Amino acid sequence: MSGTLPKYDALMHPTLQALAALGGSASVEEIRGWLVDHLPLSEAQMEATHEKSGSLIMPHRMAWARSYLKIAGMVSSGGKAIWVLTDAGRHALARPDATLRAEVRKLVAAHAALRRAEAAAGDANDPDDTASADQAEWTDTLLATLKAMPPDGFERLAQRLLRESGFVRVEVTGKSGDGGIDGSGVLRMNLISFQVLFQCKRYAGSVPSSTVRDFRGAMQGRADKGLIITTGSFTAEARKEATRDGAPAIDLIDGEALCELLRERQLGVRVRQVVREEVEVLPAFFDDI
């Protein structure tokens, strides 16, 4: 299956196009949705997994495309999984795909050579340089851990995450045959509150649109909003179904977004700040002695 999938370098130019089409900045989810619709990528391709780890292939290749574009200075990360198109990226849009790939490879090679020279000189690595590689490593480990949890443990984790995110009266039902509803909570926003029902899916693959439809049917008349949390991903059809006109919107949290939420709230994740010391010589100081 993986042999038929686009390589990461084939995703670089489309990623720049996605950012341009989405107004110059976009979330990882928005970029992924644009690529799925415009390349296009089939549901089977998006569900393809690595044999050993069971992790999804295409989201990783999309992440590596963003990583190399960042090293090349064509995109920047704006925090909270938001990516921004730089001036260099806008200029690169006009170049043929093959030219862009060659340019990025050259810039990445030069960057790697600089890092090797700095390492040989004993300089500390810039944490931003390895951010995407580290991201792929820790998210893989975290997702594997989440998938190994028992169903009730994953539901309690979702309960804790919602509480940490501002929900109150969060309850796990623990019932079967309730249309896929695993729990409920109340989200308070200033003077307004919303009753929310949630569903937890420990998937290795993609959640289909039928799951979203069934969940919406089960929550009809019982809540203001719905939320589905998964360790996998959502098919393009599922994302469209979640925001279908005339139907109550359902928010979707996929594995990548779940990892980021756990990182932000440091639930099961420890974040250590790495500081690089820069030393500047001041010649004027010595002239005055």
184-216 pLDDT, tens digit per residue, is 999 988 888 999 999 999 887 788 899 999 999
- Interatomic CA distance for residues 289 and 271, integer angstroms: 44
According to CATH, what is the number of the domain 2-123?
1.10.10
pLDDT of residue 80: 64
| Domain spans, the chain | 2-123, 148-264
Question: For the purposes of burial, counting CB atoms within 10 Å of the CB of 23, is it exposed (0-12), middle (13-18) or buried (19 or more)?
Answer: exposed
Residues of the chain predicted below pLDDT 50: 1-2, 124-130
Q: Which two tokens stand for residue 98?
A: 């093959």
Half-sphere exposure of 228 (CA within 13 A, CB side): 31
According to CATH, what is the number of the domain 148-264?
3.40.1350.10
pLDDT of residue 84: 92
Residue 197 three-state SS: strand
Q: Which of 205, 209, 250, 247 is nearest to 230 (CA)?
A: 205
pLDDT of residue 124: 46
pLDDT of residue 128: 46
